[in-house]
Amino acid sequence: MTAASSFSAQAVRPVVRLKPKANARALRHGFPWVYANELVTDRRTKALAPGTLAVLEDDKRQPMGVVGVNPHSKIIARMLDTRPEARIDQAWFEGRLVRALALRAQLFDAPFYRLIHAEADGLPGVVIDRFGDLCVIQPNAAWAETCLDPLTAALQSTLDAKVVLKNASGRTRGLEGLNDRSGVLSGPAPTAPIPVPMNGATYMADVTGGQKTGLFFDQRPNHAFAARLARGARVLDVFSHVGGFSLAALAGGAASALAVDGSEPALELARAGAAAAGVSDRFETRQGDAFEVLAALRAEGAAFDVVICDPPAFAPSRAALDAGLRAYERIARLAAPLVAENGILGLCSCSHAADLAAFRGASARGIGRAGRRAVLIHTGFAGPDHPQVPQLAESGYLKALFFRV
């Protein structure tokens, strides 16, 4: 079903129905997902095209709202609007964008932030990062894929977006049965990285070829916290990407910073960011496997006043949780010996499956097994442009633990 046909058929939308044991109350109170085992999946429902807009009814056939349906996903339906008669068109998207924009305008002086954070901003499965007059959309749910045209038009009308890109990377789209083809939805694609001012630093975002949308806005408050601790310090930034913690620390007055990452293109962008901010003389990079580099630095007798490790998601699913927690423990065990006495160790996790308690436990075990003792001085989370749905634990994915060692 195309976007155009789904809109023309809104008056005669198909109906899907909850099973009697499904938690209709949770949906009415804001939980945004219907799992496959909660929905009546008869032949008609199974035949719906991924991304179909339908009316959801409870087991007593009372309408509950409009959902985007994907019969091939474990999350078989996502609540879009609690009004069964709602039209999911450009005007509807504009309403969501205006509301999200009002919050970001209160939070930030410059137009660089996460504009739409999926369910919390009323667009389940959709992420939009803003880089001035350019926006990058990650449509991670089938319904959003079918609605890209009106969403793009809404970005143009609401934000005057000159360029809108689609980023199709990430495991979530695979779980929805979607392809990994990124592209340009409107305007000319940029031919150079975009400089992004944040926390006094300048980051270079590769919005067409970098990781995810090109920059991780979620760590902004944790970068700022670490920078306050790093005045005059020697800083080690492991899994640095484009220099997240190290460039913020240098902008805050760190004496030096070493950025470590497995990606040479990411480190090249980090060096460009350091040059743009005029801190290249205090900035070094080292390309390689993080575990191996940490071991090598210890063998070299290196020591740092602040060490930050911000790895990718080691536990992206429940099946990967045990292995992921072992990896987080190993990172802590390798990083702790590099921290000078009374220095700071920052450990981060962006794993949905590893909750705060499990991650904190793994980190503490790793520090202890390194023969160090530490106190936890601060726990950080994603910034306010990444709001959370209180009923959806997965929306609170980012954790940052800062220890004094």
Q: What pLDDT, in 10s, does the model give residues 171-227?
A: 889 989 999 999 999 999 999 999 999 999 999 999 998 888 889 999 999 999 999
* Least confident stretch, 57-66, 75-84, 161-170, 207-216: 207-216
> What is the reported pLDDT for 212?
81
Please determine, for residue 291, whether its predicted confidence score (pLDDT) is greater than 80.
yes
Distance CA 124, CA 128 (A): 12
Confidence at 316, pLDDT banded by 50, 70, 90: confident
> What is the reported pLDDT for 5?
42
Confidence at 11, pLDDT banded by 50, 70, 90: low
Which of these, 232, 327, 341, lies nearest to 282 by C-alpha position? 232
Dihedral in degrees, nearest 10, Cα atoms 15, 21, 26, 32: -40
pLDDT tens digits for 126-141? 999 999 999 999 999 9
pLDDT tens digits for 262-271? 999 999 999 9
Confidence at 1, pLDDT banded by 50, 70, 90: very low
Q: Which backbone phi and psi does 321 adopt, to 5 degrees?
A: -65, -50
Which of these, 147, 165, 11, lies nearest to 78 by C-alpha position? 147
Q: Which residues pair with 75 in a beta bridge?
A: 35
Strands 52-57 and 15-17 turn out to be: parallel
Number of C-beta neighbours around residue 4 at 10 A? 11
Could you say which of 147, 309, 348, 350 is catalytic?
Answer: 350
Please determine, for residue 4, whether its predicted confidence score (pLDDT) is greater than 50.
no
> What is the reported pLDDT for 170?
80
Q: Which residues pair with 134 in a beta bridge?
A: 131, 163
Q: What SS3 class is residue 231?
A: coil
* Helix H or strand E encompassing 166: strand 163-166
How far, in whole angstroms, is CA 205 from its chain's centroid?
Answer: 15
Confidence at 12, pLDDT banded by 50, 70, 90: confident
Helix segments in 58-159, DSSP class H? 90-107, 142-146, 148-159
Are the CB atoms for 237 and 244 separated by under 8 Å?
A: yes
Give every strand in the sheet of 399-404, ordered side by side.
283-287, 256-261, 234-238, 304-309, 339-349, 399-404, 375-380
| CA 128-38-351 angle, 5° bins | 40
Q: What value does the mean pLDDT of the chain take?
A: 94
> What is the reported pLDDT for 78?
97
Q: Which residue is it, tokens 């987080």?
A: 328
> Tokens in use for 127?
């992420």
* Least confident stretch, 7-21, 43-57, 217-231: 7-21
Active site residue 147: no
DSSP single-letter state for residue 317: S
The burial of 29, by beta-carbon neighbours within 10 Å (0-12 exposed, 13-18 middle, 19 or more buried), is given as exposed
Are the CB atoms for 115 and 94 separated by under 8 Å?
A: no
Distance CA 154, CA 138 (A): 15
Q: Which residues contact 336 (CB under 8 A, 6 or more apart)?
A: 345, 366, 367, 370, 371, 372, 374, 405
> Tokens in use for 29?
């109170």
Q: Which backbone phi and psi does 240 adopt, to 5 degrees?
A: -75, -20
Confidence at 8, pLDDT banded by 50, 70, 90: very low
Q: Which residues pair with 256 in a beta bridge?
A: 234
The CA-atom distances, in angstroms, between 301 and each of 49, 262, 306, 328 are 59, 22, 15, 23
Please determine, for residue 14, whether its predicted confidence score (pLDDT) is greater than 60.
yes
For the entire predicted model, the pTM comes to 0.93
Cα torsion angle, 249, 250, 255, 259, sign: positive
Are the CB atoms for 108 and 199 separated by under 8 Å?
A: no
Q: Which residues pair with 306 in a beta bridge?
A: 235, 344
| H, E, C per residue of 169-218 | CCHHHHHCCCCCCCEEEECCCCCCCEEEEECCEEEEECCCCCCCCCCCHH
Instruction: Show the domains of the chain with their CATH numbers.
Output: 3-81 (2.30.130.10), 90-186 (3.30.750.80), 194-404 (3.40.50.150)
- Between the two ends of the chain, the Cα-to-Cα distance in Å is 57
Q: Which residues pair with 308 in a beta bridge?
A: 237, 346
Are the CB atoms for 80 and 65 separated by under 8 Å?
A: yes
Q: Which backbone phi and psi does 207 adopt, to 5 degrees?
A: -80, -10
Confidence at 6, pLDDT banded by 50, 70, 90: very low
